[in-house]
Structures are given as C-alpha cells and as structure tokens.
Structure 1
Amino acid sequence: MVRVLFVCLGNICRSPMAEGVLRVKAQSAGLALDVASAGTGDWHVGEAPDLRAQEAAAARGYDITALRGRLAVRADFSRFDYLLAMDRKNLAHLQRLAPTSFNGTLRLFLDYAPDAPVREVPDPYFGSEDGFAPVLDLIEEAADGLIRHLRT
C-alpha cells in the first residue's frame, strides 16, 4: 500500500483538505492508499481543522471533521512513501528533517498539477472564507495528477 503524507504549516487548512480530497478520490479510483497530514509548526497539535476548511471541504463532499493536527516528525520518513509539501518553505523544512536514508518522494504537492497557474498551494488561513475554494481547486487538480502518477 502506498503511503502519502501531506504537510503544511499548521495542519489545520491545506494539508487536512488534501488528506480528505485524496482519500475520497483514491477510493473512487479503486486505489488503496494510506493518507495522512501533518504540520511543520506545533501551534495546532490536537486541534480539528479550521472551521472554514471543514465547511469548504464539506461543500464538495469531503469530511475532514475527525482529523486532528499533528507535527511532522523524522519518523514520518520511514512510515510514508510520499511526503508532499504545500509550499517551498514547508518543503525546505522537510528537507532539513529528512534522514539521508530516505528513498521515497519528497516534493511539492502541486508538482502533480503541472498546468496549475501556481507552484505552491496558497495558505488561506489569514484570509476570508472565499480563499478556501480556490485552494480546494488546486488540491483537487493535484490529487487527480497524483492518482494518475500512482497508476503508472
């Protein structure tokens, strides 16, 4: 089974939305994946996703209410095959954390959405509710691309 970890800063907006999206899309595609999410900062450990993220996800059929924030740790590199960062800052954090023995995939999530107009998933946390739908658009596009990649 392929194991995927999505990583953003606080693990309450982008990465839990990506976790929820990929779970549903993988199931619909008949792929058995182990999907999780984490943050590089510890401010929201144990907290549910941001209410705006929950509402935006639910509007598209993704239930992320049971997810809880957690910190990305060095042990994740032995548990997961893919560690996918939402932006370059979190990717750099993961690169510093990665053991030299890691032979999985560590990259930006939007690398799987080559036609997306941006390379990083913007953080909607400090904006309004309106910022979550465009973020979900990018996440859905990248999730589709990741599923295509995993099928090859």
Structure 2
Amino acid sequence: MTSPPFNLSNTEMNYVAYKILFVCMGNICRSPTAEAVFQKRLADHDLLHRIKVDSAGTHNFHPNAPPDERSQAHARKRGYDLSHLRARPVVDSDFEEFDLLLTMDWDNRALLEDRCPAQHTHKIRGFAEFLQTTQASVIPDPYYGEDPGFEQVLDLIEEASDGLLKFIITKAQA
C-alpha cells in the first residue's frame, strides 16, 4: 500500500463534519463501488468518524438489492467489500442532508438537477471532476459490458476518491 499523498492530524479534522452521496442510475455498480472505495480511503486516514458516505440511484430498479456480482468480484480483488451495501433510490431529503451529491454521468446529473430544490443545486457535482490526472468527464456505466469496464471504473473511482479526499481536506483547512 502506498502512503497517503497528504498528512492531516485528527486535531485538524475535529471541526469537520461532511456528508457525501454517490449517485448512479441503479445503485448497483458505480455508486456502491464509490461508496466502498471512499470509505476505505477515509478509514485509511482515520476520518470515518467525521465524514458520512452513502450511495443511491436515480432509478429504483433494484430496491434493497446487493451490488452487482461483477462489481463485487472486481472490488474484492482490490480489497474493497461491497457485500453489505444495498441499493436505494435518491429521496427528497438527500438534497438537504448531504453536502455533496456526486453523480457518475451526465444523465444522473440532469435527473438530480431536475428534482433538486434550487437552494441545493450547488451541491450536485460530477464525481469525475475530482480525477487528478485522467481526462474523463464521467465514470462510465460498466453494467452492459465485460470485465475491462469494471476494472476501468475501479481505476477512475480510486483516482477520483483521492482527489475528493484532497478537496475535503483543503476545504477544511481553509
């Protein structure tokens, strides 16, 4: 395991409380993967107690279903456990509760923006905005593809998770 790209003591983070919701279409591939990867990043930096992470879908296609088996298998190979996660739809209270609603693609973003009360639209962003070196505007949906698509999604989510963590810490130190 590589060392974190930054260093932050618990004392510096004591005043931060942040809530992040990862959003894709069905909440069985990308958003639960992002939830698990980011939770691991938080655990690695002893920040789980300060930042709440959840995931949801713009559609309620798979209510209370576990993540797609392929997503789980690929994530497990990299040390992430998705087995305890269950699909749920975005609900109206999410717009108020969460500080960031991070969408995986443009369709997810448009659907959230259509539903979101005006005072909360600033909370909606694309997760790919946090990529540090990869030039991609979305985290693509691997559902109808093969194994390489799930690996690509994990690569992008890991990179964006590192960028998101830097963003949150920078914001907390400002």
- TM-score normalized by the length of structure 1: 0.96
Bigger Rg, which one: 2
Letter in 2 for 1:37: S
How has the CA–CA distance of structure 1 residues 134 and 151 changed in structure 2, closer, same or farther, with 3 Å as cutoff? same
In the TM superposition, residue 114 of structure 1 has moved relative to its aligned partner by: 4.3
Picking from 100, 105, 128, the partner of 1:110 is 128
Q: Report the equivalent of 2:21.
A: 5
| CA distance in 2 between partners of 1:138 and 1:103 (Å) | 24
How has the CA–CA distance of structure 1 residues 94 and 103 changed in structure 2, closer, same or farther, with 3 Å as cutoff? closer
- Conserved in 2, the CA contact under 8 Å of 1:80 and 1:104? no
In the TM superposition, residue 30 of structure 1 has moved relative to its aligned partner by: 2.3
- Structure 1 residue 86 and structure 2 residue 94: aligned? no
4+ residue runs of structure 1 moved beyond 3 angstroms? none
| CA distance in 2 between partners of 1:103 and 1:119 (Å) | 19
- Conserved in 2, the CA contact under 8 Å of 1:81 and 1:104? no
Identical aligned pairs, as a percentage?
44
Gaps of 5+ in 2: 1-16
- Structure 1 residue 120 and structure 2 residue 138: aligned? yes
Q: Report the equivalent of 1:135.
A: 153
Picking from 37, 48, 51, the partner of 1:21 is 37
- TM-score normalized by the length of structure 2: 0.84
Q: Report the equivalent of 1:55.
A: 73
- Conserved in 2, the CA contact under 8 Å of 1:42 and 1:71? yes
Gaps of 5+ in 1: none
Number of aligned residue pairs: give it. 152
| CA distance in 2 between partners of 1:139 and 1:82 (Å) | 16
Measured on the aligned residues, the alpha-carbon RMSD in Å equals 1.2
